A = this chain, B = another copy of it.
């Protein structure tokens, strides 16, 4: 069981592995290749992973055996554990609770090499609809306040396995970065009576120079205040606070624009490592936030975060988003 500790200064929470700590000799020198081993996510190796929680599979095929398209299992080395109570308490001036939460892996494809950029629209729809199903299911657990979907692609983006997968963590508190976005959006809403994301969508469509792709329901841009070179956000054009509220009509369009954004990044940056996350509204809150709007944040890993960024929270972006958008928009895919 891990511990959740709260920073009394900034209110940041940290997950501390108290039971199975990493020792000094366990840290590997940074490596940029994956270890050679039997892939636990490939068809035929289902018994290596925990049992499947939810799955899209061929009619007649058996659970935890081949025949699936998208498969969800508990993370074998979960950062947080599903069973138990939070037990929040103080230790002198510090705050701590037990490490309760869910940590799942969404195996995106039976194909060891087929990432989203290489998948059919229907395959991407299956992945996204599984994101929705798991988010909805975990939101039914009243202990959870937030469900984060995130993907690490490539070793330098923190991926430890090559097989295409996404992760999901359900948390018993609203994380700091989300809270900051929500509070910023709330301040704006209180002042203007409009959603700041809706205003961003409107301004970006009008100015065009940071737009990468657009369809009936979604907009992909390099945000004006990118933190990383070639950062890409995908936002619904119509106001919607919850990722898992996307409609059947919207889903194919979302699959298309996500795939297109990742294809463009792949072409322009020679298959870069990246992280993406879905920021959506917290769950199990008394009232929904009127001024918050879900979105994808895609962050290619091209530069290193160093002392200045850690010390300030400032970021140095060496490629202006207007130029990055031009490259991405004009790439041949």
Contacts and interface: CB of A to CB of B under 8 A. Distances in A.
A53 interface: no
B22 A229 contact: yes
Contacts of A34: none
A16 B320 CA distance: 6
Contact of A177 (B148, B157, B311): B311
A21 interface: yes
Nearest to A149: B311
Contacts of A5: 224-225
A14 B314 contact: yes
Interface stretch (A40-48, A61-69, A109-117, A168-176): A168-176
Contact of A92 (B94, B203, B321): B203
Contacts of A320: 3, 16-18, 21
Given A5-B225, A314-B14, A316-B17, A152 B306 contact: yes
Interface residues of A, number: 92
Contact of A277 (B7, B180, B185, B310): B310
Given A177-B313, A196-B9, A169 B308 contact: yes
8 contacts: A12-B225, A21-B318, A22-B318, A94-B203, A151-B307, A167-B308, A178-B313, A275-B310
Given A10-B181, A93-B203, 15 more contacts: A12-B225, A14-B315, A16-B317, A16-B321, A24-B270, A79-B316, A92-B207, A148-B312, A157-B304, A158-B306, A158-B307, A159-B306, A167-B308, A169-B308, A175-B311
